[in-house]
Amino acid sequence: MNRTIQTAGDLLCWTAFAPIIRRYRRAAIQRSTSEAYDRRKIDSLLNQIIIQHGDLLA
The answer to whether 11 touches 18, Cβ cutoff 8 Å, is: no
> pLDDT at position 19, please?
92
- The yes-or-no verdict on residue 57 having pLDDT over 80 is no
Q: CA-CA distance, 10 to 15, in Å (whole number)? A: 10
Query: Contact 29/20 with Cβ under 8 angstroms?
Result: no
Question: What predicted TM-score, i.e. pTM, was given to this entire model?
Answer: 0.60
What is the tens place of the pLDDT at every residue in 2-56? 889 889 888 888 889 899 989 999 999 999 999 999 999 999 999 999 899 888 8
Cα–Cα distance, 31 to 1 (Å, whole number): 13
Q: How far is CA 38 from CA 1, 14, 23, 45, in A?
A: 21, 34, 22, 11
